[in-house]
Amino acid sequence: MSGIIAPRRSATSGTWRNWAGNAEARPLRTVAPATTEALAEVVRRAAEDGLPVKAVGTGHSFTTVATTGGVLIRPDRLTGVRRIDREAGTVTVAAGTPLHVLNRTLAREGLSLTNMGDIMEQTVSGATSTGTHGTGRDSGSLAAQIAAMELVLADGSVLRCSRTENPEVFSAARVGLGALGVITELTFEVEPLFLLHAREEPMRFDRVAAEFDQLVAENEHFEFYWFPHTENCNTKRNNRTQGPAVPLPRMRGWVDDELLSNGVFQAVCSLGRAVPAAVPTVARVSSRALSARSYSDIPYKVFTSPRRVRFLEMEYAVPREAAMAALGELKSMTERGGLRIGFPVEVRTAPADDIPLSTAGGRESAYLAVHVYRGTPHEAYFTAAERIMTAHGGRPHWGKLHTRDAEYLSGVYPRFAEFTALRDRLDPERRFGNDYLRRVLGG
C-alpha cells in the first residue's frame, strides 16, 4: 500500500513500550504511514476488520493513553515542516515531527514558538494531545498555540479545522487525547525569533512560598523545584531581553546540564533506590550542587533541557491561588510520612485558556509535579500526593500517572460533557478507544 511500510517487528509478537518502560502494547498490526491519504486508508481498513486504532508518538506519556491491541500507527514517516507563512505568522508541520526538529527549523528561519515545555523529544501531535506545557504568566501550552489542524476521523474521512472552520472540533481536538481522530497535520502560531534572559538561583522554601505570587507576576516565565527532605529550592526566571545573546559557556552548560543534572543525578538516584535511608542526606547535598547562573539565548535553548534520567511522574494542575497551600501540604506529608523522595517537586504556572480538556481550561493554574526514579516504589507517594491535589480540585495531566476516572473528571472540567458529546458524534463505535480512555472519558 502506498505510503505504508511493514512493521519492524512481527505483526503478532511485536511489543511497543513507552519511554519510562511502565506501559506497553502488543498490537496486531504496526504501520507507519507517510501521507494523510495512507493514514486514512489504515483507518478504513481497521474499521473493515473491526480493529481499534491508536497513534503513538515517542512514548513520553506515562499513562496508557496511546496503547492498543489493534492497529498501532507509528509517527516515523509522517514528519517534516510543510509550510511557513510569514504573513500569517504560522508554521504547518506533519503530526509525527519531533519538537526538536520543529524548534531548530524555526530558529534557522528566524522564528519561534512563544512558549514550550522543558523536553523537546516528543512529537508535536503527542505533546499537544496530552496537554504538554511549560510555564508562563501570559503564554499557555503548546495546544493553546495551535491555529489549525487536520485529522483523520473514524470513518477514514479527512477533516480540517480552525477557529473558523469546524470550530467545535478545533476547540476540543487541540487537547483530544487521541479520542476524536488521528492528527495528521498541525499549524502553530509563531513569532519572530527573540532572546530570553534566564536567571537561575537557589532560594529557601519559605521565601519562595511567601513570594510566589509576586515572582509569577513579575516574570514572564517562573518555575521552581523543591527538594524533599530539605528547605532548598532552585528557581528559574525567564524574561525577554533585547540582547545581546550571552549563552552559557560550553563547559558550564555541560557541567550543569549533563554532568550534574544527568550523570551525577543518575548515580544519586541509583544510590537512593539501593539505600533508601540515605535519601534525605543525599537530597541535602544534591540540592546545593547547582549554583546561581544567568545567561541569554534563543527560546528553545532556554526553555528546554536534556532529561536522560528515567523516572515516573504524576502532575496535577490546581487553581493558582491554591498552589502554595497544596505544596505546603505535600511537604508536610513527606516529612511525617516516612517516605524517601529523591526527586525534586516541580512547580510551574499557566494562564487560563479556552480548550475544554486543557488542564488550564477556564482557570489560571499552577502545576505540581512529583517524580520517582524508575524502579523505585511510587504507589504510596503518588497516592498521598493525589489525595492532596484532588482536595484542591486538581486536574491530572493526561499523559502522567493518576487514578482519576470520568466521574471525578466531569466534576473538575466544566466542559467535559461538551467533549464527550463530540466524541459520541465523531467516533460512536470507539474506533480510537482503549482502556485508558474508557476510564477517563467513560464508555
Structural element, H or E, at residue 260: none
CB-based contact 345:368 (threshold 8 Å):
yes
d(C-alpha 353, C-alpha 405), whole Å = 23
CB-based contact 114:142 (threshold 8 Å):
no
Asked if residue 101 and residue 201 are part of one domain, the reply reads no
CB-based contact 326:146 (threshold 8 Å):
no
Does the residue 345 lie in any domain? yes
Query: Which residue range is the domain that position 126 belongs to?
Result: 81-192
Asked if residue 237 and residue 180 are part of one domain, the reply reads no
The overall longest dimension of the chain from CA atoms, in Å, is: 61
- Which pLDDT tens digit goes with each residue over 12-31? 348 999 999 999 999 999 99
CB-based contact 374:310 (threshold 8 Å):
yes
Asked if residue 185 and residue 273 are part of one domain, the reply reads no
Omega before 27 cis (within 30°)? no
DSSP string, 380-420: HHHHHHHHHHHHTT-EE-TTS-----HHHHHHH-TTHHHHH
CB-based contact 342:373 (threshold 8 Å):
yes
pLDDT recorded at residue 276: 77
Q: What is the mean pLDDT of the chain?
A: 91
pLDDT recorded at residue 374: 84
Closest CA to 312 of 266, 394, 379: 379
| CATH code of 286's domain | 3.30.70.2520
Alpha helices in 337-405 (DSSP H): 379-391
- Which pLDDT tens digit goes with each residue over 236-256? 999 999 989 999 876 555 445
pLDDT recorded at residue 8: 35
pLDDT recorded at residue 5: 31
Cβ neighbour number for residue 20 with a 10 Å cutoff: 16
d(C-alpha 125, C-alpha 188), whole Å = 11
Q: Indicate the DSSP class of residue 81.
A: E
Asked if residue 247 and residue 109 are part of one domain, the reply reads no
pLDDT recorded at residue 442: 96
Asked if residue 211 and residue 187 are part of one domain, the reply reads no
Which of 136, 157, 192 lies at the terminal end of a domain, its last residue? 192
pTM here?
0.92
| CATH code of 126's domain | 3.30.465.10
* Structural domain count, the chain: 2
